[in-house]
């Protein structure tokens, strides 16, 4: 009698067969590449500190330039609310030097109104503007209302939130250094070497050096910043959680003065926006995502960070026009600024909500 064959495969045979099938179908397992900083997509606010001009100041602005008054009709929540509630992860601050203090404490718009017998609202109940130091405002004498009066206060607000949320992705802070004034009696100090030293002291008094990703950190062992990022990109997000990245928003003589001690930004705290062939090239400002969309795509592909703007001058909100916003998002720019992280219902539903964050 012919013996019956055992048709039940052994466990060892099954294990080997399944393994072979998985290897054939899936190939070797490869660890996922860590997410780099230049692969983030972050929504942030333009003039992040700004409160819309009150009725008195707005009236003065409109007398000089009605179109400008219309363009300035937007406002922001306090910085901490932007971080916590709106999930903003980059901010812009306009900075003026005030070494003696009090330079911006009595704006012209209010002084003129008071002389005419018009009551003006309180400006600075805690007298923050009287103390010496770097101030935060859009324009002296006319467009001066702000949620935070000094750079130290602004950084403190951001730092406190960061301390409570230490796993956050790097927060970017754009700093525009201003010195212009429309009234000859208000003369802000210029941004020279002394001003830059004051800026660095103020920053480091609030943000410890180890909490800042600096040009030296990014450059590492490479000769230039450009060589550190070109074709490679920025370092992994996970290596720099809980940190801040400081960007100089100027592209003028102030930027050139900041670069003067070192074209690779050695021992500096701020990155600068320069042409992509420059030794300090790591991020660029391209505010028009429609006219510069192809350039933005190319810069991002090369490993650079790019900041662009989704809207400007209340135009998009008033018209409920999403074209510029949509092009900004499509461009690949990593930092997209808006005046409308939430809708202004006086105008429309237009807004630029935060994107999903790896936090």
The residue count of the chain comes to 359
Pairing, β 90-96 against β 135-136 = antiparallel
Q: What is the pLDDT along the chain (359 residues), one digit of tens a residue?
A: 444 334 444 444 444 444 434 344 444 445 689 999 999 999 999 999 999 999 888 988 998 889 999 999 999 999 999 999 999 999 999 999 999 999 999 999 999 999 999 999 999 999 999 999 999 999 999 999 999 999 999 999 999 999 999 999 999 999 999 999 888 789 999 999 999 999 999 999 999 999 999 999 999 999 999 999 999 999 999 999 999 999 999 999 999 999 999 999 999 999 999 999 999 999 999 999 999 999 999 999 999 999 999 999 999 999 999 999 999 999 999 999 999 999 999 999 999 999 999 99
pTM above 0.85, yes or no: yes
Domain residue ranges of the chain, discontinuous segments joined by +: 46-223+232-270
Three-state secondary structure of 165-227: CCCCCCEEEEEEEECCCCCCCCCCECCCHHHHHHHHHHHHHHCCHHHECCHHHHHCCCCCHHH
- The structure tokens 């101030």 sit at 135
């Amino acid at each position: 009698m012919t013996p019956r064959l055992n048709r039940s495969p052994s466990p060892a045979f099954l294990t080997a067969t399944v393994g072979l099938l998985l290897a054939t179908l899936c190939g070797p397992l490869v660890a996922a590449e860590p997410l780099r900083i230049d692969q983030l997509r972050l929504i942030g606010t333009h003039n992040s500190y700004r409160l819309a001009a009150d009725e008195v100041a707005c009236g003065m602005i409109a007398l000089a330039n009605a179109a400008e008054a219309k363009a300035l009709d937007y406002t922001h929540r306090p910085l901490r609310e932007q971080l916590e509630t709106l999930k903003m992860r980059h901010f812009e601050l306009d900075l003026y030097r005030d070494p003696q203090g009090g330079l911006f404490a009595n704006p012209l718009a209010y002084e003129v109104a008071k002389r005419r017998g018009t009551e003006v609202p309180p400006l600075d109940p805690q007298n923050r503007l009287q103390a010496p130091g770097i101030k935060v405002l859009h324009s002296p004498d006319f467009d001066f209302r702000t949620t935070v009066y000094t750079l130290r206060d602004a950084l403190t607000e951001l730092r406190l939130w960061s301390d409570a949320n230490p796993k956050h992705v790097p927060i970017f802070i754009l700093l525009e250094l201003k010195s212009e004034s429309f009234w000859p009696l208000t003369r802000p100090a210029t941004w020279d070497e002394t001003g830059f030293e004051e800026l660095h002291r103020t920053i480091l008094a609030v943000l410890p050096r180890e909490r800042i990703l600096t040009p030296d950190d990014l450059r590492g062992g490479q000769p230039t910043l450009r060589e550190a990022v070109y074709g490679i990109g920025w370092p992994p997000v996970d290596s720099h959680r809980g940190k801040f990245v400081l960007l100089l928003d100027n592209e003028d003589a102030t930027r050139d003065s900041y670069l003067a001690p070192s074209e690779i930004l050695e021992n500096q705290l701020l990155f600068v926006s320069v042409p992509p062939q420059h030794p300090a090239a790591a991020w660029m400002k391209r505010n028009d995502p429609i006219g510069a969309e192809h350039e933005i795509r190319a810069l991002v592909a090369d490993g650079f960070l790019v900041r662009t703007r989704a809207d400007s001058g209340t135009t998009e909100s008033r018209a409920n026009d999403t074209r510029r916003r949509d092009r900004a998002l499509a461009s690949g720019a990593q930092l997209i600024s808006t005046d409308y992280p939430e809708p202004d219902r006086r105008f429309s539903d237009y807004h630029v909500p935060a994107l999903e964050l790896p936090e």
